[in-house]
C-alpha cells in the first residue's frame, strides 16, 4: 500500500504539471486582457476569491447586498492575509504590514453590482446556490456590463448553461469552480458549455494560473469532476452505516488510514454542510443530466433526519459529530 501511495503522489504531481502546462500553452493563443475583476458575494468563497485575485495583482471589486456583509468579508480577508504575512515575513513587521496594505489597496467594496460589472473584464458570481437568484443577478449584470465582459459562476452543483440562459452572452459565460478554503486549495475547475468560446476558456485558464491555481477543464455536467466523484462516495458511506456494515467512526478511520484521505467521509460531510449535501443530491436525483433516479445519489434516511433536526455539521455545532461551537476545529465523537 505504501508503494501505491507513493506512486499516487508522484502521479498527482505529474498530472498537475501536465494539466497546467497544457491549459496555459493553449491560453497563449487568444485571451482577453483582464485588469479588473468583480466578485459578487463576500462570504467565505467570495472573500477567498477576492483575496487570491488581489494578491495576484488584479484590482478587485467585492460586491454584496449590505455594508455589514462587506465588512464581514473584509475581515475574513484581512485575517487570512495576516496568517499569510506571518509566514512570509516572520521577523519583519514592516514588510508584513506593507504586504497586507498592498493587497487591500487593490480591493474596492461596493453594494452596486451593476456599476462594478460595468468597469470589469471578468465577473465572478459566488452567491447563494439558487438558480432563480443567480439568473436574476446575471440578467441585471448582462444589461450593465460591456458585451466583451466575461461572466462566470462559482456554483458547485447547478448547470452553468441554465444560469447563462438568463443572459445574451452565452459564448462569454462559463463556470469557474474554486474550492474552500480558496487561498489554500490549488484546484480550479473551468466548466465549458457548448457555447463557451475558446477565448473565454483560454482567458480563464490564464487568470487562474496567475492566481497560483491549477486549472482543469470539464464539460457542463452535474458535479463537474470533483463533486461528481465525491458526492456518490459520501452517499455510499451513509448507506454503509445505514446497513449496519460499519460505524461512521470506523469508516472515517478506514478512509484516512487506508486511502490516505485527510478527512473521513462523515467528517467531510460535517465540514461541507449536511444541508448542502442534501440540496445537491436532491437536485441531481430529480433533474441531473444522466443522474435522474440513480441509486448513487438516492435520498438517505440518516441524512434526511439530521437535516430535519437542524443538525447541519460544523456550522450548526452538530452533525454526525458534536462540536464545541460553531466553526470548532475538532468534533466530539
* Residues classed as catalytic: 156, 177, 189, 227
Is 46 marked as binding a ligand? yes
Residue 236, C-beta contacts closer than 8 angstroms, at least 6 positions apart: 296
Is 42 marked as binding a ligand? yes
Is 80 marked as binding a ligand? yes
Report the distance separating Cα 216 and Cα 188, nearest Å.
6
Angle at 127 between CA 55 and CA 139, to 5 degrees: 110
* Of the candidates 210, 213, 130, the residue with the CA atom closest to the CA atom of residue 177: 213
Is 43 marked as binding a ligand? yes
Within the chain, what is the greatest distance between any pair of CA atoms?
A: 59
Report the distance separating Cα 149 and Cα 106, nearest Å.
20
Write the CA distances from 266 to 23, 102, 129, 277, integer angstroms. 34, 40, 22, 11
Q: What is the SS3 assignment for 225-290? A: CHHHHHHHHHHHHHHHHHCCCCCHHHHHHHHHHHHCCCCCHHHHHHHHCHHHHHHHHHHHHHHCCC
Report the distance separating Cα 123 and Cα 148, nearest Å.
11
Number of Cα atoms under 13 Å in the Cβ half of residue 196: 25
Is 315 marked as binding a ligand? yes
Residue 291 phi, psi dihedral angles, 5° rounding: -125, 0
Helix (H, G, I), strand (E, B) or coil at 110: strand
* 141 Cα distance to chain centroid: 21
Is 274 marked as binding a ligand? no
Is 327 marked as binding a ligand? no
Binding site feature residues? 41-46, 64, 80, 87, 129, 134, 156, 180, 315
Binding site feature residues for NAD(+)? 41-46, 64, 129, 134, 156, 180, 315
Binding site feature residues for CoA? 80, 87, 156
Amino acid at each position: 500500500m505504501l508503494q501505491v501511495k507513493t506512486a499516487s503522489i508522484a502521479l498527482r504531481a505529474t498530472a498537475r504539471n501536465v494539466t497546467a502546462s497544457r491549459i496555459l500553452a493553449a491560453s497563449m493563443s487568444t485571451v482577453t486582457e483582464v485588469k479588473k475583476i468583480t466578485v459578487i458575494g463576500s462570504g467565505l468563497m467570495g472573500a477567498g476569491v477576492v483575496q487570491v485575485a488581489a494578491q495576484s495583482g488584479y484590482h478587485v471589486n467585492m460586491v454584496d447586498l449590505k455594508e455589514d456583509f462587506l465588512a464581514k468579508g473584509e475581515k475574513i480577508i484581512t485575517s487570512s492575509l495576516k496568517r499569510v504575512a506571518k509566514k512570509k515575513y516572520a521577523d519583519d513587521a514592516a514588510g508584513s504590514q506593507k504586504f497586507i496594505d498592498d493587497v487591500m489597496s487593490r480591493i474596492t467594496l461596493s453594494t452596486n453590482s451593476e456599476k462594478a460589472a460595468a468597469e470589469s473584464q471578468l465577473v465572478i458570481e459566488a452567491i447563494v446556490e439558487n438558480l432563480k437568484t443567480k439568473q436574476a443577478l446575471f440578467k441585471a449584470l448582462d444589461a450593465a456590463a460591456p458585451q466583451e465582459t466575461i461572466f462566470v459562476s462559482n456554483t458547485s452543483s447547478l448547470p452553468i448553461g441554465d444560469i447563462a440562459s438568463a443572459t445574451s452572452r452565452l459564448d462569454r459565460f462559463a463556470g469557474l469552480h474554486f474550492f474552500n478554503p480558496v487561498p489554500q486549495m490549488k484546484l480550479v475547475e473551468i466548466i465549458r458549455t457548448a457555447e463557451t468560446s475558446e477565448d473565454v476558456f483560454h482567458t480563464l485558464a490564464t487568470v487562474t494560473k496567475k492566481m497560483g491555481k491549477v486549472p482543469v477543464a470539464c464539460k457542463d455536467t452535474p458535479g463537474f469532476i470533483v463533486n461528481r466523484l465525491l458526492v456518490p462516495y459520501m452517499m455510499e458511506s451513509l448507506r454503509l452505516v445505514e446497513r449496519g456494515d460499519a460505524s461512521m467512526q470506523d469508516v472515517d478511520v478506514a478512509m484516512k488510514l487506508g486511502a490516505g484521505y485527510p478527512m473521513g467521509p462523515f467528517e467531510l460531510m460535517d465540514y461541507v454542510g449536511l444541508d448542502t449535501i442534501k440540496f445537491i443530491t436532491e437536485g441531481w436525483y430529480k433533474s441531473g443530466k444522466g443522474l435522474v433516479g440513480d441509486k448513487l445519489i438516492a435520498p438517505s434516511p440518516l441524512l434526511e433526519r439530521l437535516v430535519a433536526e437542524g443538525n447541519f455539521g460544523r456550522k450548526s455545532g452538530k452533525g454526525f459529530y458534536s462540536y464545541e461551537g460553531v466553526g470548532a476545529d475538532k468534533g466530539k465523537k
